[in-house]
Each structure stands twice: as C-alpha cells, then as structure tokens.
Homo-oligomer: A and B are copies of this chain.
Amino acid sequence: MSTQPQAGTRLDPWYGSYSQRTHGMRASEIRALFAVANRPEVVSLAGGMPNIADLPMASIADAVADLLRRDGARALQYGSGQGDPVLRGQIADVMSLEHINAHPDDVVVTTGSQQALDLVARIFLDPGDVVVAEAPSYVGALGVFRAYEAEVVHTPMDAHGLVPEALDEVLTQLAASGRRAKLLYTVPNFHNPGGVTLSLERRPRVIEVARRHGVLILEDNPYGLLGFDGEPLPALASMAPDDVVYLGSFSKTFAPGYRVGWALAPHAVREKLVLASESAILCPSNAGQLAISTYLSQFDWRGQVKEYRRMYAERRDAMVGALQEYLPTCSWTTPEGGFYVWLKLPEGLDAREMLPRAVTSLVAYVPGTAFYADGSGAGHLRLSYCYPTPERIVEGVRRLAGVVNAEADLVAMFGTAPSRTDGVETPGPATP
C-alpha cells in the first residue's frame, strides 16, 4: 500500500475502508471463552454444544452413503434458493408438534437458524431501528442486531417468561419517544440463557401487545421439542401466523453439523427472505438438506428426541442437585427443558471479573453481561448442562462453588473483589 488516500494503519492498510457496521464488530465473550473451554482439563459449563455422541452413527453413515449412491447427482448439485421442497414438507410436519399449521411454501431453509436470524435482520432493520428483546437474550441474536446497526431495548422476564404488561410499557415508551420498534425478539421455550418458558396463558397476551404496537414477533425456537415433561406448548406462530416469523433448527433435535435451520414466515415476508438468502448464499447445501431429509424419513427421529430429553433431564438434575449442595448462597432458574441454567451470584460479585479465577480453577461459564446489549448482567452467569457428563457437571459446579465462595469472602472483607479480567479474551470458535 503506497499512496492510499484513505487512512490505513501499519497493521491494517484497509482500516479506513471498512463500512460503518464493521467498526461495531467485536469478538463476543462467548467466542473468547470457547478457546478456554476447549482445554480438556477445564469443565466447560460455557458452550451450547449438544451432546450427539449417542446418535446411531453407523446407520446414519449407511443411509447417507445410500443417498449419495442413489441420488448423488442431485445431492452434490445446486438446489433451490428456498430449500428442498420435500424437506420443507417434513419441516412443516415437525412444526405441527407445536400446533403450527404451515404450508411448505412458507418455509425457507437456511444455513442453521443463525442465518435465518441474519436474513430477518437484513430485510427489516435499518440503522437506528429498535429491536425489543428479553433481558437477558441469546448472545448470537444480539450480535446480529448489532451487525445491522440496530439498537436493542430489553424487556423484563420472570419465571413465566416475557412479562406482557412490561412489554406494553416498553413499547409505549419507545413510541412516545418517537423510536421505531420493528421486531420483538423472543425465545419462548427453555430460554437461552434464562432457562424459563413463556407460559401458555401469557402467549396470546404477548401477541396482542405486539400486534397493537405493530411489531413483528421473531420467535426463535431451537429448544421447543426438548421439554423434559409433557407436550410441547403451542408456538406463538401457531396462534398468530401473520404476526410471527418463526425460526427452527435441527441442531438440537438431531445435530448441528449439517447447518440446517429454517424460517417460517408470512407469505410476503417469506418472498423477501428467499431473495435475501439467494443474495447471501445462492442456495443452502443440497447434500446437507437431503441428509437431514433422509434422517427424518428413515430414522425414528421422535424416539431420538425422547432419548435426548431423557439425557438432558438427567444432566439438568445433576446440575441443579450440585447447585443445591455446593452453592446455597446463589439462586437459579430450574429449566424444564433445553440446555441452560441462569444463576444469580451473591450480592457484590461480578461474573465477568470472576471468570479468570474460575478458569484457573478449571471451570468455565458465560458471564451474564454477554446476554445484555446495555452492559448489565454482571451479577448473573449462564451454566450449560448440555455437553459434559453428569459427573463432570457436578465436579464443575463444585469448582465453581470454590471460586464463588472465595470471591464472596473477598467481597465481605474488602467490599469489592479486585479486577483481573485483563488478558483473558483470546479468539476461538463460535457456538450458541
């Protein structure tokens, strides 16, 4: 770079060329943590990786090989931008378990439901638009909204999920201040990271409030079928199909490696999503889609989901039991499904500042601050029970208790614990 007229730097000659949105990009806390969590001696209660070790891998291998032999010229070719029609029909069947009556035409297959999030943001959000989202919210969604230069305004949850009256108040205040709320982003089932579920009774009320304020609901539902007891609750999309874009995923009910998720959207919105997706990736992977389609048609996928529920329930029990035993000074949500416990630290403790000590003690978690757009959440942390074995979970909580108790002693002695966050953040892979 010799005479470039824009400002560059020695380390990055193109620094002056980046778009506005790029200057807001930063490695998420979750990303930084994963490098740490990957060390085998650390019990990671940080990541959201599903445990897929018990999938019938040899039979899946045979089925995929058979698919390639039979239909390889199609599996390895370009496909429809909207996604394979047969798979879209199967996705409609999957959603019927949550009372959704969808037409396959209104389904768009995406590279994981993260891409669906990105596409929804792309077609709706201008810089400065507001997204209302639960406090706390999924870190990956916050990242997407930031990438589109939108502002996130949080709305409170309690043990029964999103609070409709509080949502009404937030939206009313936004309107009064002349700000444009375009989307309500919500994870109604087994919330990430909150661990709570929006009650059946509140669902129509949330819809009524959003509708009254002209706000589209973005229902992100990766965990809906992973409830430990009873039947799945009806999705918001089942109650108000014209008011909801629903996002689904096979990452937790089957496996994440094919990166197959989807959006179900009102017809006109679906058309925009397809155009946006064609621009972004041309078309989703046929090989991945047909593998998932084969799995759904040839395997007892409902039985596998039941097996996952049993396995995750056992891990939830291990975590909650260990918390009761080792961390009586904290409080936490007890999830009825999904992957996460949301834990409140004793007064005065800061989850972010405590993290380096936890890592030194060979346990990792995600500090609550990752799940807020406004920097709050330091008094909370997210614990995942999805990936480690029950024994490792108990050991992890035991280690965490040691750290929390030592930290609480410091706070009791000095009023505050000394900061030691510096140097912890290193790059690493992404995860939900």
Cβ–Cβ contact A75 & B285, under 8 A = no
Query: A214 at interface (Cβ–Cβ under 8 A)?
Result: yes
Number of copies: 2
Q: How many angstroms from the CA of A67 to the CA of B26 in the assembled complex?
A: 35
Within 8 A of B (CB), among A3-53: 3-6, 11-15, 17-22, 25-28, 31, 49-50, 52-53
Query: A337 at interface (Cβ–Cβ under 8 A)?
Result: no
Q: How many angstroms from the CA of A211 to the CA of B5 in the assembled complex?
A: 10
Contact (A17, B429) CB under 8 Å given A3-B212, A77-B255, A257-B78: no
Cβ–Cβ contact A257 & B287, under 8 A = yes
Q: How many angstroms from the CA of A123 to the CA of B72 in the assembled complex?
A: 36
A185-193, A269-277, A297-305: which lies at the interface = A269-277
Query: 4 tightest CB-CB pairs across the interface, nearest first?
Result: A12-B268, A76-B257, A4-B214, A65-B65
Q: How many angstroms from the CA of A281 to the CA of B110 in the assembled complex?
A: 9
Query: A284 at interface (Cβ–Cβ under 8 A)?
Result: yes
- Which of A69, A123, A259 gathers the greatest number of chain B CB atoms within 10 Å? A259
Cβ–Cβ contact B257 & A111, under 8 A = no
Cβ–Cβ contact B57 & A72, under 8 A = yes
Contact of A211 among B2, B175, B281 (CB under 8 A): B2
A140-148, A316-324, A390-398, A403-411: which lies at the interface = A140-148
Query: A278 at interface (Cβ–Cβ under 8 A)?
Result: yes
A112-120, A224-232, A353-361: which lies at the interface = A112-120
Q: How many angstroms from the CA of A243 to the CA of B388 in the assembled complex?
A: 45
Q: How many angstroms from the CA of A115 to the CA of B279 in the assembled complex?
A: 8
Query: A291 at interface (Cβ–Cβ under 8 A)?
Result: yes
Query: A62 at interface (Cβ–Cβ under 8 A)?
Result: yes
Cβ–Cβ contact A275 & B26, under 8 A = yes
Within 8 A of B (CB), among A188-226: 211-214, 216
Q: How many angstroms from the CA of A66 to the CA of B25 in the assembled complex?
A: 39
Within 8 A of B (CB), among A140-185: 140, 143-144, 147-148, 175, 182
Contact of A272 among B22, B67, B122, B266 (CB under 8 A): B22
Supply 29 A–B pairs (Cβ within 8 Å), ascending by A: A1-B211, A3-B212, A3-B214, A12-B267, A12-B269, A13-B268, A14-B268, A18-B124, A19-B124, A19-B125, A19-B126, A22-B122, A22-B123, A25-B276, A50-B77, A58-B69, A74-B257, A75-B257, A76-B256, A78-B430, A81-B430, A111-B111, A111-B281, A111-B285, A114-B279, A122-B147, A147-B280, A259-B281, A259-B282
Cβ–Cβ contact A123 & B78, under 8 A = no
Contact of A72 among B60, B112, B124, B431 (CB under 8 A): B60
Query: A288 at interface (Cβ–Cβ under 8 A)?
Result: yes
